Amino acid sequence: MASAVIRLIRRPAAALLVARSCRHVQQLSLHMLPGGSVCSNPARELTRLLPRASPYQMWSRSFASENGNLVDAVVPFMGESITDGTLATFLKKPGDRVEVDEPIAQIETDKVTIDVNSPEAGTIQKFVAKEGDTVTPGTKVAVISKSYPSDMHVAPSDDKVVKDAQPPSPPTGAPQPTPTEKIDKQVRKEEGSTKGKPKVPSAATPPKTSPSEPQLPPKERERRVPMPRLRKRVATRLKDSQNTFAMLTTFNEVDMTNLMKLRSEYKDAFVEKHGVKLGLMSGFVKAAVSGLQNQPIINAVIDGDDIIYRDYVDISIAVGTPKGLVVPVIRNADTLNFAGIEKEINNLAKKANNGTISIDEMAGGTFTISNGGVYGSLLSTPIINPPQSAILGMHSIVSRPMVVDGNIIPRPMMYIALTYDHRLIDGREAVFFLRRIKDVVEDPRRLLLDL
């Protein structure tokens, strides 16, 4: 009986009749034969009837519509001004167990890095997208199975199984050559091939190069990698800034003695009360706020044929991260004290380095402070961060001989630079602004007395 069934299944038409005889529609798997036949019996029952070398292969797949077991992990909303991103890396592998809202991939955009989280707890069945793909909000990245992986039938390849061909054995009746005859034939064959080939010199002479020909490094010592989206965005904005603004930079130097003394005297009490260290950046932010209030044109911006004066002060702080430069914003810096500014700076710096800073925390800003001194920069000309009109550059503190009350004594000095848009800001306002920062930093008591 079994042999008769097998002979029927080997024929497509007969296989259709056998498949239609199946009645168990309650099973969870759907199995199809290449001839178009459908059977709802378990795959193992029908597989036993098929011979191993049968060209008709089985295909098994679980559908989310049947059991609701599969869910899709998609790219989330990335922000108002971000339309797409690059799938930078996968944090998990197929088969890994994930929890609800656990990151499984990272999307790199022009401004921030966004996580793709798992919508359900389960197991990663497969990844739909690949690293380096450009994705948009709603793009499916992975398929999550809400249950642990179970036994599943995998479709074999459609390629035919080809057995390794074995060389035919010589006829048993033919006489076998002796070892001596084999050696003689081999020697005669090698002598014939040697006579037919021309002689080749033992060592090839290297090609001569002219003395004027440049010696370029080998290509094997170069590496070409795709530019990250954040770096591309930074490059575009900086070049647009150079092409748009009439940038001019003015310099001054600041004696840091009093601010450093203030920090040294009150740093322990400051940490005890506010839970954050007292740094030098808060002093420069307060000085910049005072300078912007005294010179409102520095806080303004050109918009077409108009000038927009902003009666609030949002200070952007340039932060260098492993992925590139980001500029988080301290909102309403004119209303914050030293402790509030230090807390906000620490919070934004941690988010920037961890890659968790949001777009809203970097949007806006009316004035930027860039502290290249943390890297040892002595002097620089910073580039304006559009759509602002000026940027302050801080630098390293160096002990230099200075003349104080007719005496030459060492002082901790810092060069400061202000780059401004000369279309809007004249040199007079720029110098007055930088002078105000110098006065406040050198004597912080001016802030208390409003001088």
Q: Are 373 and 414 in contact (CB under 8 A)?
A: yes
Please report, for residues 149, 163, 410, the alpha-carbon distance to residue 95 in angstroms, rounded to integers and kept in the order given: 8, 33, 65
Both tokens of 98, joined, read 């994930």
Closest CA to 371 of 260, 268, 241, 282: 282
Q: Which tokens is 112 given?
A: 């921030």
Beta strands 103-108; 247-255: pairing state:
unpaired
- Please tell me the total number of residues recorded for the chain in this structure: 451
Q: What are the residues facing 252 on neighbouring strands?
A: 416
CA distance 19 to 36: 10
Distance CA 388, CA 301 (A): 6
Alpha-carbon distance of 451 to 442, in angstroms, equals 13
Give the integer Cα–Cα distance in Å for 239 and 244: 9
User: Longest C-alpha distance within the chain, in Å?
Assistant: 120
Residues involved in catalysis: 422, 426
